[in-house]
Amino acid sequence: MKNLYLITLFNLLFNISIADEGCFKSLSLECSKNLESKIEEIKKHYIHEEYKNDLWTVHTETFDKKNSKDWNIFASVNGKITDGDRLRVRIIPRNIESCNMGNIITTFYTYSNVKNFSDIENVLIPAYFNDRDIYVKILSSHKFLAGNMIFIDVTWNKLEDLKRFFSKKNEVSLKLMNSKHLNIDEYFDIQENLFSLEGLDRALDKAKYQCIKIVNSRV
């Protein structure tokens, strides 16, 4: 049975890590309560759907920033192997053109005993994604409970291209691979995750609409 408390905390901490790294590292109850309060306020004005198992949903993150160009709209789905490691498509509402672009990112939670995860930050590593060989970038690592949360940048693409890339598929897997300079087994005890694609197109359309709405509100 999935630990719902851990899953909720996992996703809450993802948002904290982007909004306030210092708050993420402290893991304080006050930080969590402040973020929950901000989320409730966001829900009053912007799309902020509740997470549903194996279904893509959309939510808006303002990160408590007044300039909406720094906000993010996320379409995301839980992982089937590690639930809290969601696959996310991030849209940044800088202008109308940027509303057509999506950044695929995810996390890998690991219990590895490696002390210096910072050694692999900003490193490109091979991966297998949607039956294709690609390279992904390790963005950052954060200590979390008994392990570490590793942030992975998969790719930037046009939203319509993403729809075509995932078309006629029910799910997609992402598997991290070894390279000449990096043994994945040393850093990741789980190197693969699997994600449902149910509701992806709807979520991307909805996220794009929210992005355009935010951009137009500045005009």
Model confidence pLDDT, tens digit, residues 179-193: 888 899 999 999 999
Please provide the average confidence, as pLDDT, over all residues in the chain.
85
**DSSP H/E element including 211:** helix 200-217
Residue among 42, 38, 47, 41 at smallest CA distance from 20 = 38
d(CA 122, CA 104): 16
Q: How many domains does the chain have?
A: 1
Q: How confident is the model at residue 84, as a pLDDT?
A: 92
- In single-letter form, the type of residue at position 17 comes to S
Q: Are 192 and 174 in contact (CB under 8 A)?
A: yes
Domain of 159? 4-217
Place of tokens 């920033």: 65
Give the pLDDT band (50/70/90) at residue 5.
very low
- In single-letter form, the type of residue at position 149 comes to M
**Of residues 95 and 46, more confidently modeled:** 95
Q: How confident is the model at residue 114, as a pLDDT?
A: 77
Residue among 54, 103, 85, 60 at smallest CA distance from 189 = 85
Tokens of residue 142, six digits: 């954060």
Q: How confident is the model at residue 27, as a pLDDT?
A: 52
Q: How confident is the model at residue 100, as a pLDDT?
A: 98
Percent pLDDT > 90 in the chain is 59
Average pLDDT estimate for 50-78:
93
- Global pTM reads 0.82
C-alpha distance from residue 123 to each of 85, 118, 126 (Å): 20, 10, 10
Decide if pLDDT at 78 tops 70: yes
**Of residues 142 and 45, more confidently modeled:** 142
Q: Are 208 and 159 in contact (CB under 8 A)?
A: yes
Count other C-beta atoms under 10 Å from residue 97's C-beta: 8
Question: Which range among 29-43, 90-104, 181-195 has the greatest average pLDDT?
Answer: 90-104
Residue among 106, 112, 118, 119 at smallest CA distance from 146 = 112
What are the tens digits of pLDDT across the range 137-193?
Answer: 999 988 888 888 999 999 999 999 999 999 989 999 999 999 888 899 999 999 999
Q: What are the residues whose beta carbons fall under 8 Å from the beta carbon of 197, sequence distance 6 or more?
A: 56, 77, 166, 169, 170, 171, 172
Length of the chain: 219
Q: How confident is the model at residue 3, as a pLDDT?
A: 43
Four-CA torsion 81, 84, 89, 93, nearest 10 degrees: 180
**Of residues 113 and 202, more confidently modeled:** 202
Place of tokens 């379409």: 75
| Helices first, then strands: H and E counts in the chain | 6, 9
Average pLDDT estimate for 68-96:
96
